[in-house]
A and B are shown apart, each in its own frame.
Chain A
Amino acid sequence: MMTNLLLFPIIIPFFFAMILMLFPKKIYAQRVGALLALGSTLIASVTLLYKVKTDGIQAITLGSWPAPFGISMVSDMLSILLVLSSTVIAIFVVWYSFSSIGKARESFFYYPGILFMLTGVNGAFTTGDIFNMFVFFEVLLMSSYLLIVLGGEKVQLRESIKYILVNVISSALFVITVAYLYSVVGTLNMADISVKIAQINQPGIITVIAVLFLLVFGLKGAIFPLFFWLPSSYAAPPIPVLALFGALLTKVGVYAIMRTYTLFFTLDQSFTHELLMILSILTIVAGCIGALAYFDVKKIIIYNIIIAVGVILFGASQMNEASLMGSVFYLIHDILIKGALFLLIGVIIAITGTSDLRKMGGLIRSYPMLGWTYLIAAFGLAGIPPLSGFVGKLLIVQGGFEAENLWGSIFILASSLVVLLSVMRIFIYAFWGEPVEITLLTKKHYRGLFTPALVLVGISVLYGVGSEWLVPYMNDAANVMINPSQYIQAVLGGS
C-alpha cells in the first residue's frame, strides 16, 4: 500500500470523477460523490504530509523503470503542503457550490470537472518530470475550459475563447521549451536535469531556456506583462469557479517557477533571478493599479491575485532561507485567503444582486456577521498581525533586506497598504453608508453560502495565529529549495 501513497491525492479525485461521469443527472449522488472524493483525498494528503515530515522526501518512479528513464513522482514538503491546501480549497468550493451553482450546471459534469481539475493540480505539484508536468497542466487546463464555459452565458463564451487561446499558445510554448531543454541536457527527469545543468555549468543557452520557462509559467501564473488575459477571463464564470481558479490556477504557475528556478537554473542568478525580481516588482505595481482602479468587487480581488503572485515570486527570487520560507508561507496563505475572499464577495453579490460597489451600501445592518467576517479576511489579506498574511510577508521582506534589495522590499511593504486600501474600499462601500434596497435571502440559502466562507476564514485565522507550529514544516519546504541535493538524492538514489 505505502509505496504508492504519494499518488493517492492524484488518483482518488481522478477515480471519483470517472464514477461521477456515469450518472450526471443524479444531482444528490453527484454531491455526495464529490464530497466523498475530496474527503478521502484530504485524508490521503494528511497521511502523506505526516509521512513526508517523519521519513523525508517520498519518490517513486512509475512502472518500476529505473529513475532517470521512467516518470518520477516526488512529494517533498513544498509539494505536499500545496496539495493539501488545494484539496482544502476544493472542499469549500464544492460545499459553497451546493447552494449557488444551480441545478443546470450540477447536472452537466460540474463536479467531475472540479475533480479532474484537482487531479491535474495535485499532479502538477507532485510530478518530478518536466514533460509530465506539461501533461498535468493540460489535464487541469482541459477541466478549466469545461468549468469556464459551463453554463454558456454570453460573457462566458466570449472570455473562454480568449482564455483557451492564451493557454493553447502557452502550452505550445511549454512543449517547445521542454524540447529545447531536452536537446541540451538530454533528460526530462527534473532531478537529473538539475545534475546535468550543474555538470555543464549552465552555459548561455540554458539561461535562454530559463527565460523561456519564465515566459511559459508567467503566462499561466499571470506575471507582468503577461497577466493581460487574466482579469476579464476570471470574472466571467460563476463565483465558485472563480474562487477555484483564483485560489489555485495561478499558484500552479507560481509553483512551477519556484521549482524550476530553485532546482534547475541556479548558477546564473545575477541574470535569471534579477530578471525574476524586476518582473515580480512590476507585477506588484500593475496589480496595485488594477486593484485601486475598479469599482467591480470581482475585479478588485482578481487584481489582488496578481499582487500576491508578485510578492511570492519576489520572495523566490531572493534565494535565501528567510525569503523562500516566507514565499511558502505566503503561497499557502494566499490560497486560503483568496478562496475565502472570493466566497465572501460571492455572498455579497448574491445579496445585492450586483458586483458594482457604487450600487451597494449599508449591508452591516442586515448582515453584521458577514461584514465582520469580511473585515477579518481583508485584514488577513493585507497581513495585519497576527493574521495569516503577516508572517509570510515579514519573512519575504526580511529576506529581501538580507539580500540587500532595499527597494524591492520597500515596494512589498508599500503594496500591503494598497492591498489594505483596496479591500477596505469594498468594506466601506458595501457595508457602510446608506442601506440600499436588497432582497433578503432565505435563511437556508444564506447559511449555505455563508458557512463555508466563515469556516475558511476561520482556518486562515488559525493558519496565522498558529504559524509558530507550522515553522518546522515551512522550514523543510524552504530547505528543499535551498539544498536541491536532497531532492536529487531522493529521486536518483545514493551518490
Chain B
Amino acid sequence: MKTNDVILQTTTKLIFFIIILFSIHIFFAGHYAPGGGFVGGLLTASGIVLLLLAYDIKTVSTALPINYTVMTAIGLLVALATAAGSIIFNVPFFTHAFDYFDLPLLGKQSLHTAMLFDTGVYLVVVGVTMTIIQSIGADD
C-alpha cells in the first residue's frame, strides 16, 4: 500500500528538532522544576517514534545508526558510576554533591552530580523505549 504522506514527512522534519530541543530543555529544567531525565528521555523517544511513523525503520536506522541495547547499557553504567563515586569518598552510596560555578554566558549556576545520574536515566529511557518499539515494529 502506498500512501501519500508528504504533509506528515515535511512537518516531521520541522517538528522533530523542536521536540528534541524541548526534551533537552525539560531535561535541564528537571533540576529545580518538573522535568528530568525520565520525561526528557520519553520526549526524545517520542520524537524518534514520529520519525518512524513518517518514514520507515530502514531510513531512520540509516539516519540514526544507534544500537539502543548498547545505549541502555551505557546509560546504566553512567548512572551506576555516578552513584559509585560515593564509594571512593567513603560516604553512603548515592550521596550527591553540588556547588555553584560562574559559567560563561549562563552566569551563576549550580552544578550537581545528580545531573550526571539523570543523564544515565535519560539514556536508559530512550534506549529501552526504542528497543521495545523497534522490536514490536520490526515484526512484519
Contact = CB atoms under 8 A, between A and B. Distances in A.
Interface of A: 1-4, 7, 11, 14-15, 18-19, 21-22, 24, 60-64, 73
B133 interface: no
Contacts of A62: 92-95
Contact of A4 (B69, B72, B74, B86): B86
B interface: dominant SS: helix
Contact of B73 (A4, A18, A61): A18
Contact of A22 (B73, B93, B95, B96): B73
Given A3-B90, A60-B93, A62-B94, A11 B80 contact: yes
14 contacts: A4-B86, A4-B90, A4-B93, A15-B80, A18-B73, A18-B80, A19-B73, A22-B73, A24-B69, A62-B93, A63-B93, A63-B95, A63-B96, A64-B91
A61 B92 contact: yes
Given A2-B90, A11-B93, A64-B95, 14 more contacts: A3-B92, A4-B86, A11-B80, A14-B76, A18-B76, A18-B77, A19-B77, A21-B70, A21-B73, A24-B69, A61-B92, A62-B93, A63-B93, A63-B94
Contacts of B73: 18-19, 21-22
B84 interface: yes
Interface of B: 69-70, 72-74, 76-77, 80, 84, 86-87, 90-96
B138 to A, nearest CB: 16
Contacts of A7: 93
Contacts of A63: 92-96
B56 to A, nearest CB: 26
The winner among B69, B70, B73, B86 for most chain A CB atoms within 10 A is B73
A24 B69 CA distance: 10
The winner among A2, A4, A21, A61 for most chain B CB atoms within 10 A is A4
Nearest to B72: A21
Contacts of A64: 91-92, 95
A409 B95 CA distance: 49
Contacts of B96: 63
A1 B84 CA distance: 11
Given A18-B80, A63-B95, A4 B87 contact: yes
Nearest to A7: B93
10 tightest Cβ-Cβ pairs between the two chains A and B: A21-B73, A63-B94, A64-B95, A62-B94, A18-B76, A18-B73, A4-B87, A60-B92, A64-B92, A18-B77
A60 B72 CA distance: 28
A152 B9 CA distance: 37
A425 B73 CA distance: 47
A1 B90 CA distance: 5
B13 to A, nearest CB: 33
A3 B76 CA distance: 23
Contacts of B95: 62-64
B92 A14 contact: no
A22 B70 contact: yes
A2 B95 CA distance: 15
A84 B86 CA distance: 24
Contacts of B74: 22
A64 B84 CA distance: 13
A2 to B, nearest CB: 7
A265 B72 CA distance: 41
A126 to B, nearest CB: 12
Nearest to A21: B73
Nearest to A73: B93
Contacts of A22: 70, 73-74
